[in-house]
Amino acid sequence: MTKTDAPKPAKLCYNHIGGKLGTLLLENFIEKGWIAKGNSEDKHYEITPEGEKGFKKLGIDLAEVK
């Protein structure tokens, strides 16, 4: 198996995706405008209306989140 064929790790951290994959997903969702903070001091992100559309296209049921 070559290095490019090797499986990529996906870490779990307290029942959520962590590690590099989690970081890349977070950054991508922010860039797409799918999630945002109400203000920069907020600890948590909220799913935006654009995010609701995007996640729906991915087949993610946000009823499980809310």
pLDDT tens-digit readout, 4-61: 778 877 888 788 888 889 999 999 999 999 999 988 899 999 999 999 999 999 999 9
Q: Whole-angstrom Cα distance, residue 52 to residue 23? A: 20
Identify the pLDDT of residue 2: 61
Residue 50 CB contacts under 8 Å (≥ 6 apart), including other chains: 32, 33, 34
User: What's the CA angle centered on 37, arms 58 and 55, to 5 degrees?
Assistant: 5
Q: Whole-angstrom Cα distance, residue 8 to residue 57? A: 24
Identify the pLDDT of residue 61: 92
